[in-house]
Structure 1
Amino acid sequence: MPTVLVVDDQVLIRAGLVSLLNAAPGLTVVGEACDGDEAVRLAGTTAPDVVLMDLRMPGTDGITAMERILARAEDGAPRILVLTTFDLDEYVYNALRAGACGFLLKETPPERLVAAIHTVASGDMLFAPTVTRRLIEAYHPGPVPPRTIAPEWDTVTGRERDVLRLVATGATNTDVARQLFISEATVKTHLNRAMAKLGLSTRAQVVVFAYETALVTPGGPTVLP
């Protein structure tokens, strides 16, 4: 049964979310926070499976809180599901960079919100890779050399780079396996090793890294030639 930490600075919204999730089958709210600092503290003491995170809060914002939560989680880091008022903006882009597993608008129907929490708790991303690409294309600051953004880049093998590039274009593990003529298990191995070397924890971060380092480019092909 997934456990949830609710983070929102607006009292009525937070109370409504807590009531909704506590009433939903298969979910348990283990805490509620009114700002980023309280979110970091409660994430450490309650160890939730999912953090439902508002982004724009006074004081410590949601992105900073997210970075601190994930940095402090030694094992079993929580999955971060962003709940925002705005669709495509720099806040959501920065949330992807920080390690968010998905995002929803605050106008999302209750049943979809509940389903979304179960989705990210199971280890999946909530938004389509094309949405992630659209965000990156709109807000990424321009490419920098991979070894500048990640000195460990030189330790990433050629095959691992191929896998990263394809994953960043939105390809599934099955797609990557078919295009590179390897097994899905081998895809997972290459991807996990590359992500570990580069300090990436989600596929969304892989997309961000690939765009920022020009492994893939805005408007470029979605598959390798």
Structure 2
Amino acid sequence: MCCGGCAKCLGVTLIPLAVLCTLANILLFFPGGNVETSDHISEEVWYFGGILGSGVLMVFPALVFFGLKNNDCCGCCGNESCGKRFAMFTSVIFAAVGVLGAGYSFIVSAIAMHKGPKCSMLDGTWGYPFENGNYLGNQSLWYDCQSPKSVVPWNLTLFSLLLIMSGAQVVLCSIQAVNGLLGTLCGDCKCCGCCGGDGAV
């Protein structure tokens, strides 16, 4: 398979991940499946890690990776080597953008899971009753959150999904960064050891 073929596979995988991350972040605005005022929503949700980092920013590298298959062995302006090298170099830049976006979402999700959700506590005030992630291994502490109902498993599940999916995005973009670097250095598919001299798969 050509280097561009590998990039296309990565791009196809990144698109559904970006959509799912966006949906997960949107659902976090409804803690426990309830509609709450903005000051009752966890602070980390407003950082838009899933919407911006793993969502919008991930669309650009995904589209670039997806289109590399068409540029992999065709060149540009009649200069095949120039076209292939430039296309692969561009993918490295966009891969770096993807790593930064997904990394941002990963960090926000990890902090949110460690901190726990914002909720109505036993004394009737709203705040963060958990410290240092102590609630993760002790479900009896979850009752310290009186409302919204089921906010702890709700936030924990969605932020866990964001953590996993953004981590997968970091890995996929890193793979393309290496793939793109090899394509930039090699120039043509045969040099990369991917295709025959005619550019066929």
TM category (shorter chain) comes to under 0.3
Specify the structure having the higher radius of gyration (Cα).
2
Larger % of helix: which?
A: 2
Give the TM-score, by structure 1 length: 0.21
Give the TM-score, by structure 2 length: 0.23
- The structure with higher relative contact order (CA 8 Å, sep 6+) is 2
